[in-house]
Amino acid sequence: MIKFKVLQERVASLYPPIFKYMAAEARKCKTWEEYKYEYEKQKKTGIYYHLTKEPNFKIDSERGAKDWSDPFGDVIEDVPGTMYVTGDPACWSATFSDPQTDEPLRKYVALLDLSAVPMQDYKRSIIADCNEYVVHNSKNIKLIKLMNLKQALKFNEKYEDALVQLIQDENDLKKFYDFAMSHPEF
């Protein structure tokens, strides 16, 4: 037991604990090349958000993407089991703002864990300007935390800053991938 605790402490000193979600994504990939593609082209960095009007939001895989609508409230698509998530809550908060007042229409943000969602079940949307993903099987998404919009934007800014420091080039990304693959406990 002591040895495992020492190992956990060493691992935590190399990478902040929040990167465990990114490590889980790396472990979904069979090869370095596959991970590099998912990180660089699909922009999968381990942290995902869902903007909502619901103050008590819960993931409901039977419900489908009913919460995803245009800024005026018209439901665009409703496919049971799907969910739309983003890696860029700032972009979507601007998209979901009242054009008259500039007030956000979606004041709550779900911080999501997609660690248990197979990589092939979520790909960037063709309208990926805001780093949007369509998750085709939402039953394995876990809600980490529900925040107000201001908290989520601050959290994402800190995460993005840490990510830029962690991954400055392809060599850093490869080191992270190798670390994630050799440390499944992280």
Report residue 153 as tokens.
């934007």
List the one residue out of 99, 100, 114, 94 whose CA is nearest residue 49: 114
Convert the pLDDT of each residue in 149-176 to its tens digit: 999 999 999 999 999 999 999 999 999 9
- State yes or no: pLDDT of 28 exceeds 50: yes
**Confidence class for position 27, pLDDT limits 50, 70, 90:** very high
User: Nearest 5°: phi and psi at 109?
Assistant: -135, 125
pLDDT, one tens digit per residue, over 105-124 is 788 999 999 999 999 999 88
How does DSSP assign 57-76, residue by residue?
A: ----TTT-STT-B-TTS-B-
Q: What percent of the chain has pLDDT over 70?
A: 82
Contact 81, 137 (CB under 8 A): yes
67 touches 60 (CB < 8 A):
no
Whole-number average pLDDT of the chain: 84
Q: Predicted confidence band at 66 (pLDDT cuts at 50, 70, 90)?
A: low
Q: Are residues 59 and 35 in contact, defined by beta-carbon separation less than 8 angstroms? A: no
CA 7 to CA 134: how far, in whole Å? Answer: 36
Is the pLDDT confidence value at 104 over 80?
Answer: no
Q: Closest Cα partner for 87 from 144, 47, 143? A: 47
25-53: average pLDDT: 94
Residue 70: the pLDDT is 43
